[in-house]
């Protein structure tokens, strides 16, 4: 049985099909990533799965409960880390957890017993009495994660869990999320950090304009969609060099004054570039980001 | 019964900020009560068979309850809903928007009731409400609080920004305070204006509370209670409709 299953999900706002026929299957214990540019429909998809927004069409089953019909029952076994922190600024770190547990119908004693462990997990053990405004961005994020775990959920939804964090804070969150996966929790996260998706997710779906355009493991997506080697080239005389180099690369993309050459074997390209002192180049293995840009395009989404 | 957790959250915040909160809710009405009551009261032998300050105390009890309920459900409610996104966080839990709306309205009514009850206690301490039947003003104050909390919450769930509330405050609440018998008997108003007052909830709260302060039973009790209950129930339903539309669309 799936931890989360969605079929033919649709949601329209005005003339815009924000979610346009999405199917999802997330297995128990899996870390599943929803990747897409801004406005792709990721957040709306999460809200639909939680029963916070009603779909125009389609069915959802979350932890065996039909959503939105029994969304409240489903949510009692689910945790949510939203894109923007909405901790309670009037309460301390500890009070935030104590008050939040009550929304799940947990007794004061049950919540209080869970708090030390959660503060430990969030790396906030010495900060129980700190005010929310005194916390750094990373601490707030970790507290939001701890808050989402107050009911010991089976499944955790995270909307861009590390956006806006510095590398240290981000790595700490990743480490904690891996720990949760090891404990057997199911994770569903949205992100537009390819590195995050590659490191954490067993499987990903790339979403654009309300549709899932590709689903698979990070490696499988790279193998399926992109040549394994990339050479990025820029400098004067690029156009002249490209005319004869094109036959060495099956696929070439231009973005401003940089050319991206994708090939199974980059050696002939690099050999050619050694004789071009005017051109700078970078040779690297293809990544998920290349897949993402190939599938969703290089245009800005604002 | 998850709405109680929402009520409790607001109660806990209030308890942390107790002194400032109580002071701001009570200072204004009490200063007005004693300032106007004794100052103006000295010029007036009696109004509607009671001393002006006792007359005005009954009106102040109701208007302070109305203002506390309205401010809590509008300004504080909007801050929780829009500024802090507290409602969003609550809705990830197994709590629905219906619970949040109910919790917010009952909370604002509770806080308003405390304002009304404190003013009543002060009035009693100054000998302005001598009869024990004045305790019946306490449930009336809660009902007044419910009605205005619910109406205020309609404004909150419709509001796009803070300015939205000034229309309701300036165009409805302030004139209503003037014509509902807070400062002077509403019966001396021209008939059409009195009819407007009678269509609004504050007048009915005052019609119930003022005789109780004077030590006698009010008349037409079912009518007054029915109007207050109808406002509370209808406004609750309307607030719920727009809250669902705002949050689940």
B106-138 per-position pLDDT tens digit:
999 999 999 999 999 999 999 999 899 999 999
Three-class SS state of A124: coil
Contact A82 B13 (CB under 8 A): no
CATH of the domain at A262: 3.30.70
Q: Which of B9, B89, B103, B246 to mutate to probe the A interface, most A CBs <10 Å?
A: B89
A281 and A139 within one domain? no
Q: Which of A13, A78, A90 to mutate to probe the B interface, most B CBs <10 Å?
A: A90
Write the pLDDT tens digit of every residue in B177-186: 999 999 999 9
pTM: 0.92
A252 and A185 within one domain? no
Q: Which pLDDT does position A250 carry in this prediction?
A: 87
| Residue ranges, chain A, pLDDT below 70 | 302
A113 and A51 within one domain? yes
Chain A residues with CB under 8 Å of B90 CB are 103
In a domain, A293, yes or no: no
Instruction: Tell me the ipTM for this assembly.
Output: 0.90
In the structure, what pLDDT confidence band is assigned to residue B171 with cuts at 50, 70 and 90?
very high
A289 Cα to chain B: minimum distance (Å) = 31
In a domain, A290, yes or no: no
CATH of the domain at A100: 3.40.50.300
Chain A residues with CB under 8 Å of B96 CB are 72
**φ, ψ for residue A60 (rounded to 5)?**
-135, 135
Question: Given A219, A240, A256, which residue is the final one in a domain?
Answer: A219
| Tally of structural domains, chain A | 2
**φ, ψ for residue A70 (rounded to 5)?**
-120, 40
Q: What count of other Cβ atoms lies within 10 Å of the Cβ of residue A56? A: 13
Q: Which pLDDT does position B130 carry in this prediction?
A: 84
- The partner residue sitting opposite A105, judged by closest CB among B2, B86, B91, is B2
A231 and A138 within one domain? no
A211 and A239 within one domain? no
Question: Given A219, A240, A260, which residue is the final one in a domain?
Answer: A219
Closest residue in A to B245 (Cα) is A53
In a domain, A87, yes or no: yes
Domain ranges for chain B: 3-248
> What's the mean per-residue pLDDT of chain A?
93
CB contact set of A265 (below 8 Å; sequence gap of 6+):
A229
Write the pLDDT tens digit of every residue in B41-89: 889 888 988 999 999 999 999 999 999 999 999 999 999 999 999 999 9
- The partner residue sitting opposite A104, judged by closest CB among B12, B94, B249, is B94
A140 and A79 within one domain? yes
* Overall size of chain A counted in residues: 302
Q: Which pLDDT does position A302 carry in this prediction?
A: 63
Cα angle B147, B153, B158; round to 5: 140
Provide the domain limits for residue A42: 4-219
In a domain, A135, yes or no: yes
A54 and A165 within one domain? yes
In a domain, A86, yes or no: yes
Q: Which pLDDT does position A119 carry in this prediction?
A: 97
């Amino acid at each position: 049985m799936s931890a989360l299953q969605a079929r033919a999900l649709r949601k329209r706002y005005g003339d815009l099909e924000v979610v346009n026929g999405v199917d999802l299957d997330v297995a128990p214990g899996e870390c599943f990533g929803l990747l897409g540019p801004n406005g792709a429909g990721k957040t709306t998809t999460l809200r639909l799965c939680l029963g916070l927004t009603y779909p125009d069409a389609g069915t959802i089953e979350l932890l065996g409960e039909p959503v939105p019909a029994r969304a409240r029952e489903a949510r009692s076994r689910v945790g949510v880390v939203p894109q923007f922190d909405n901790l309670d600024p009037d309460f301390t770190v500890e009070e935030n957890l104590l008050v939040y547990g009550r929304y799940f119908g947990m007794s004061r004693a049950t919540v209080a017993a869970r708090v030390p462990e959660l503060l430990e997990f969030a790396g906030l053990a010495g900060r129980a009495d700190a005010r929310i405004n005194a916390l750094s961005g990373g601490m707030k994020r970790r507290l939001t994660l701890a808050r989402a775990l107050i009911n010991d959920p089976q499944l955790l939804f995270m909307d861009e869990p590390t956006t806006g964090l510095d590398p240290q804070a981000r790595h700490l969150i990743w480490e904690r999320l891996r720990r949760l996966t090891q404990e057997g929790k199911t994770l569903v996260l949205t992100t537009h950090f390819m590195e995050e998706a590659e490191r954490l997710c067993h499987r990903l779906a790339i979403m654009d304009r309300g549709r899932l355009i590709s689903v698979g493991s990070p490696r499988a997506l790279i193998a399926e969609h992109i040549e394994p080697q990339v050479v990025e080239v820029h400098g004067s005389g690029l156009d002249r060099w490209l005319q004869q180099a094109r036959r060495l690369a099956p696929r070439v993309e231009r973005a401003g004054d940089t050319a991206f050459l994708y090939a199974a074997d980059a050696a002939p390209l690099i050999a050619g570039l050694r004789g071009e002192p005017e051109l700078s180049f970078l040779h690297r293995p293809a990544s998920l980001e290349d897949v993402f840009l190939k599938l969703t395009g290089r245009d800005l989404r604002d | 019964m998850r709405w109680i957790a929402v009520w409790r959250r607001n109660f806990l915040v209030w308890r942390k900020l107790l002194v400032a909160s109580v002071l701001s809710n009570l200072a204004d009405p009490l200063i007005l009560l004693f300032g106007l009551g004794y100052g103006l009261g000295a010029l007036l032998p009696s109004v509607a068979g009671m001393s002006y300050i006792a007359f005005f105390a009954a009106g102040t009890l109701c208007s302070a309850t109305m203002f506390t309920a309205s401010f809590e459900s509008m300004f504080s409610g909007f801050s929780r809903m829009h500024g802090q996104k507290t409602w969003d966080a609550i809705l990830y839990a197994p709590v629905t928007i219906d619970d949040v709306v109910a919790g917010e309205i009952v909370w604002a009514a509770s806080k308003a009731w405390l304002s009304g009850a404190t003013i009543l206690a002060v009035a009693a301490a100054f000998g302005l409400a001598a009869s024990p039947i004045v305790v019946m003003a306490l449930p009336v104050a809660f009902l007044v609080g419910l009605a205005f909390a619910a109406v205020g919450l309609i404004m909150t769930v419709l509001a796009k920004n803070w300015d939205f509330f000034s229309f309701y405050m300036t165009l409805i609440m302030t004139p209503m305070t003037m014509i509902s018998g807070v400062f002077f008997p509403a019966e001396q108003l021209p008939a059409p204006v009195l009819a407007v007052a009678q269509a609004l909830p504050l007048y009915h709260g005052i019609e119930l509370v003022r005789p109780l302060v004077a030590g006698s039973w009010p008349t037409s009790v079912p009518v007054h209670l029915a109007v207050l209950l109808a406002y509370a129930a209808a406004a609750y339903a309307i607030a719920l409709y727009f809250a669902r539309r705002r949050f689940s669309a």
